[in-house]
Amino acid sequence: MVNESRRTFEYKDEKSSKFWEVIQTDSTVTVRYGKTGTNGQSQEKLFGGTAEVSKNVAKLISEKTGKGYVEVGAALSTSEAAAVSSEEFARQKDQPVTKIQPQKASASRIIKPKSPAHDPGATSESLTALLGEDDVTNRLLAKHPRASTYLLEKLSHSIDKTTRQNVAANPNTPPEHLVRLGQQFPEEFLSNPALDLLLMVNPDLMEQVPEALLVRLLKQADCPGSLLTWAAGHQQAKVQLAVAMNAKAPEQATQKLLASQHQSVRETVKEPTGVDASDPHEDLQTSFEQAVKDRFKSMPIHELESAWIACDICLAQWPYLPLAFRLQQANEGTPDWLAVLDQLAKTTWTADAIQRLIGYDVIGRYIARHPNTPLAVREAVLEQLSKDPDVWERRFSAESHFTPVHVLEVLAKDKDSSVRSGVAANPSTPTSVMEELTKDKDDFVLLGIVRNPSISTDLKWALAQKKEHFLRSSIAENPVTPVDLLEVLAKDKNSEVRISVAKNSSTPASILEVMARDSNSDVCRSVLQQNLVPVIVLDALAKDKNSGVRSVVANHTATPGSILAALPNACTRTRRCGEEPDPVGHAQWAGSARTPQGRDGQAAHLAEQPRQ
């Protein structure tokens, strides 16, 4: 048995009389509305089940009663009527009607509205007088059927969201404020009974609605036909496309679209892309996006450029645009260039797509560096860049840690030395390739090998035999250089090499002790640049013939008091107060924390020394 329920509501004021009726038949909801005394218009919607239907009907009724509609009468559903037995019905029928005599109520029992805000018949003046009392009152005023345009204009600027929401749903709201609030409350805007009149009387006001919001409104299943018809004559193609993809677009709107100046719109209307208006479950959003995607594939590049400049298409449609167009936009450095590159990095890069990167240098480097780029794609892009005629692209590929070995092997033979140098310094370069590069005649290539963190010990020894002292110096300053090689380099004839050994934090005390006796004072000073200097080394340097070296010893924070006492006063005068070392007897390695008492005692000792 079909279960049907019908409820009718009326709205009356000084200017109009309207009805609104909702009929629930199983999983179908039919709504009729219009002026009282006419057949009005009707809309029908199918839902998935009775629970969803009941929830939707309750929401619709709540919205209408909130706007001032009053139920005309209540009727039992057919299932409820069937539940009443015939005997009970007969019994109720035979019962005499008891006339209830009205009682005279005392003045104290007469219930009056607390304020005009609760009185449907209140005057606009009395309502305006309540403006600003509190949020609760303002919300009632905002949806009152007798609220004046002045009152609604004031309430449209309320900081209370619900108040503004009620103003957006009130048919008395001035058009310019209704359009403005429609940006915040699109549902109330679409359901406002005054929308049809607004489109007829003052359609220019709709031009103030942002296009992004307008497109979103037009794709709604409950978008009024009057709005769809008006938007079909809009100048922008994306607005017209939104109308075209709405299954409920009226015939008048369709005729406007067929006469559109935009070819993409005309083709969409002539050849629908799968939107089934008879299917209530059709996802209009998906259908719209699919139509846009199909159209973009067939549009020439120059048309896409015009649409991009006019903001008819933007990053929201980026995945649907042809790859050639996306590469072109990413290469032109538009204001949203970084956002474009980021979107481009998310592309599904096929072998054919990677081939198209030739000539788009910046894009290739960006994709190769992007953290979300899959390794296989990254390697393929780097290989493509290694074949680029531009030396900077090949050098980028040579220096990347993700470049495949077979690509590095090819780049190691590149005619440009900067590319070979990049391969030499790349930690991913295998030892066999580095060994071949040791034969290179370019100094920067050899220096790249020396500075490579993956260089083998054998290669270090081999390069340490080279005549170029800067190679030996670079090996000497490397903290992972073997001790036996440091010992050899500490005796190098070139002072810069010895200085590098002296500064190396991995150089052991035994080598530093020997270097403390170096004939070159710069080497001795370099030994003192170590944070932790052995006491035996400090003692040796304190006896250096160079006064500058002795002065550095005096100012070193690790120098113990016994050594300071033996230094000439001319050296110790430069020592900063409060930074004296530990007394004699501290650990072999000086530089550990000292107590304030030890520092004060040493300062007193120095103060007693006679000045020269």
Over the stretch 89-99, which tens digit does the pLDDT of each residue have? Answer: 444 445 554 44
**Mean per-residue pLDDT of the chain:** 73
Residue 384 has φ and ψ, to the nearest 5°, of: -65, -40
* Average pLDDT of span 203-222: 75
Please report, in angstroms and rounded to a whole number, the separation of the first and last CA atoms in the chain. Answer: 122
pLDDT confidence of residue 174: 87
Pairwise pLDDT comparison (238 vs 473), residue with the higher score: 473
Candidate from 346-355, 434-443, 511-520 with smallest mean pLDDT:
346-355
Residue 19 Ramachandran class (φ > 0 left, ψ -120 to 50 alpha, else beta): beta
Residues 6+ apart with CB under 8 A from 100: none
**Nearest Cα to Cα of residue 562 among 582, 590, 579:** 582
Pairwise pLDDT comparison (217 vs 586), residue with the higher score: 217
Residue 411 has pLDDT above 90, yes or no: yes
Rounded to an integer, what distance in angstroms lies between the CA atom of residue 213 and that of residue 533? 72
User: 4-80, what's its fold?
Assistant: q64v53_bacfr protein fold (2.20.140)
pLDDT confidence of residue 217: 80
Rounded to an integer, what distance in angstroms lies between the CA atom of residue 269 and that of residue 34? 30
Rounded to an integer, what distance in angstroms lies between the CA atom of residue 476 and that of residue 501? 5
C-alpha distances in Å from residue 552, one per residue of 54, 502, 518, 576 = 91, 15, 15, 12
Which residue in the block uniquely carries the two structure tokens 């083998």? 456
Rounded to an integer, what distance in angstroms lies between the CA atom of residue 524 and that of residue 518? 6
DSSP state, residue 16: -
Query: Which tokens sit at 531?
Result: 């944070």
- Which residue ranges does the chain devote to CATH 2.20.140.10? 4-80
Residues 6+ apart with CB under 8 A from 507: 486, 490, 501, 530
Residue 203 has φ and ψ, to the nearest 5°, of: -65, -20
CB 486 within 8 A of CB 498: no
Neighbours of 23 (CB within 10 A): 17
Angle, in degrees to the nearest 10, between helices 135-142 and 161-169: 10
3 state SS of 177? helix
Which residue in the block uniquely carries the two structure tokens 């900081």? 159
Q: Tell me, what amino acid is at 327?
A: L
C-alpha distances in Å from residue 446, one per residue of 45, 219, 300, 403, 435 = 78, 65, 52, 20, 10
Residue 420 has pLDDT above 80, yes or no: yes
Which of 120-124, 164-168, 314-318 holds the top average pLDDT? 164-168
Q: What residue spans of 271-336 are helical by DSSP H?
A: 284-298, 301-309, 323-331
Q: Give per-residue pLDDT as tens, 500-510.
A: 998 888 888 88
Pairwise pLDDT comparison (295 vs 610), residue with the higher score: 295
Rounded to an integer, what distance in angstroms lies between the CA atom of residue 394 and that of residue 408? 10
* Average pLDDT of span 266-282: 53
Residue 421 has pLDDT above 80, yes or no: yes
